[in-house]
Amino acid sequence: MSASQRFHGPSDLHLHSVHSDGTDSAAGVLAAAQRHGVRTVALTDHDTTAGWAEAAEAAGSLGVTFFPGMELSAKHEWRSVHVLAYLFDPEDSMLRVLTDRIRASRWDRARLMADRIARDFDVTWDDILAQTSDGATVGRPHIADALVARGLVTDRTQAFADILSPAGEYYVALYAPDPVTAVRLITEAGGVAIVAHPAGRAGLLPMPIIEQMLDAGLAGFELGHRENLPAASGILRRLCRSRDLIVTGSSDYHGRGKPNQPGEYTTTDDMVARLIERGSGTAPIYA
Ligand code: AMP
Ligand code: FE
Ligand code: FE
Ligand code: ZN
């Protein structure tokens, strides 16, 4: 039986571990997904593949399929764009140089934000380090956790709405490639690029940028995601239908970091099969 003819579902293709801003270990993410009835689980930590080996190992004993992934940071003008990358070669040198640069920039940026915040709040760089696993892709969620630990906010949501807001005085931008470059490098690494939560509060990317991303190899959109809003989702759904693009649905689970639960959105078997047919850099690890 070929991979594309298998039954995969329920498939949840967007989850985070402590290798970025989730709160579960990589194996713990797969276990949480399995407890929620998910059979095919992608790990999509921000800008890193560091959790893949542990996840691949855990998949066998849990009886779930591990689907290798990553959520690559990109930026169009001021707005952050997240591009999900699946089944790419984790050794691809262009992608590695890029993700190394993004992760390094994230550390510089976290330090700058910490310095600014420390002027007004009783929180130190060590508090932030204490919330961050070794080698993790650091982000505002770790700063949020330090603020929670100090009792300065109640949870990540409150931290993001206030102290960590891009509109606030403490925010510092991180380095990230433009979304067309992000898609091109993922595709050249044998991967499949899907725009994460494409219809959220920031609104749709301009159509000319979406067209350039499609020309660079963009495969589709994550239309099933709790942050997508109906009007913009409808526009993208029509685009996906007319261009025969891949449509995914996923939870964006972050452990205790967000309310999102594994399996709250899923991807259909035929779409999982199309991702597998299109990806050439690595393969899923079947249970
Ligand atoms: P950063 O990439 O460091 O700018 O931080 C953005 C990350 O923070 C995203 O990947 C989200 O997962 C997370 N995030 C954004 N808003 C919230 C929120 N309100 N509550 C919890 N996590 C959030
Ligand atoms: Fe995140
Ligand atoms: Fe995201
Ligand atoms: Zn995510």
Show Cβ contacts of residue 283 under 8 Å, excluding neighbours closer than 6 positions: 3, 87, 276
* Ligand (nearest to CA of 139): 1
Give me the residues near ligand 4 (ion), CB cutoff below 5 Å.
Answer: 71, 252
Cβ < 6 A, ligand 1 pocket: 21, 46, 139-141, 156-157, 160, 254, 257-258
> Which residue has its alpha carbon closest to ligand 1 atom 19?
157
What is the pairing mode between strands 79-86 and 192-195? antiparallel
> What's residue 277's pLDDT?
97
Residue in 278, 287, 286 with CA at minimum distance from that of residue 85 = 278
Spatial separation of the C-alpha atoms in residues 90 and 51, rounded to whole Å: 11
> Which residue has its alpha carbon closest to ligand 1 atom 8?
141
> Which residue has its alpha carbon closest to ligand 1 atom 15?
160
2: pLDDT strictly greater than 80? no
> What's residue 5's pLDDT?
60
Spatial separation of the C-alpha atoms in residues 203 and 121, rounded to whole Å: 32
Q: 266: CA distance to ligand 2 center in Å?
A: 18
60: pLDDT strictly greater than 80? yes
> Which residue has its alpha carbon closest to ligand 1 atom 14?
141
Closest atom of ligand 1 relative to the 109 alpha carbon: 3
Average pLDDT of every residue of the chain: 97
- Region 190-217 average pLDDT: 98
Specify which residues 40 forms β-bridges with: 11, 65
Pocket test for ligand 1, best of 75, 156, 252 (most atoms within 8 A of CB): 156
> What's residue 48's pLDDT?
98
Pocket test for ligand 1, best of 102, 160, 163 (most atoms within 8 A of CB): 160
Q: Are 14 and 220 a contacting pair, CB within 8 Å?
A: no
> What's residue 41's pLDDT?
98
Percent over 70 (pLDDT), the chain: 98
Closest atom of ligand 1 relative to the 258 alpha carbon: 21
Q: For the chain, give the secondary structure using H, E and C.
A: CCHHHCCCCCEECCECCCCCCCCCCHHHHHHHHHHCCCCEEEECCECCCCCHHHHHHHHHHHCCEEEEEEEEEEEECCEEEEEEEECCCCCCHHHHHHHHHHHHHHHHHHHHHHHHHHHHCCCCHHHHHHCCCCCCCCCHHHHHHHHHHCCCCCCHHHHHHCCCCCCCCCCCCCCCCCHHHHHHHHHHCCCEEEECCCCCCCCCCCHHHHHHHHHCCCCEEEEECCCCCHHHHHHHHHHHHHHCCEEEECCCECHHHCCCCCCCCCECHHHHHHHHHHCCCCCCECC
> What's residue 64's pLDDT?
97
* Ligand (nearest to CA of 80): 1
- Quick: pLDDT tens for 86-126: 999 999 999 999 999 999 999 999 999 999 999 999 999 99
Question: Residue for token digits 């259909």?
Answer: 268
Pocket test for ligand 1, best of 45, 131, 140 (most atoms within 8 A of CB): 140
> Which residue has its alpha carbon closest to ligand 1 atom 20?
157
- Region 198-227 average pLDDT: 98
Phi first, then psi, for residue 124 (nearest 5°) are: -115, 170
> What's residue 3's pLDDT?
58
Q: How far is CA 43 from the centre of its chain?
A: 8
Phi first, then psi, for residue 164 (nearest 5°) are: -95, 5
> What's residue 188's pLDDT?
98
Q: Are 193 and 275 a contacting pair, CB within 8 Å?
A: no
> What's residue 287's pLDDT?
84
Spatial separation of the C-alpha atoms in residues 237 and 247, rounded to whole Å: 8
Please classify residue 4 by burial: count the beta carbons closer than 10 Å to its beta carbon, then call 0-12 exposed, 13-18 middle and 19+ buried. Answer: middle
Domains and CATH numbers, the chain: 3-99+175-278 (3.20.20.140), 107-161 (1.10.150.650)
> Which residue has its alpha carbon closest to ligand 1 atom 3?
139
Q: 65: CA distance to ligand 4 center in Å?
A: 19
- Tokens at residue 37, please? 């009835």
Q: 1: CA distance to ligand 4 center in Å?
A: 32
> What's residue 9's pLDDT?
85
- Tokens at residue 174, please? 């991180």
User: pTM for the full model?
Assistant: 0.97
Closest atom of ligand 1 relative to the 257 alpha carbon: 21
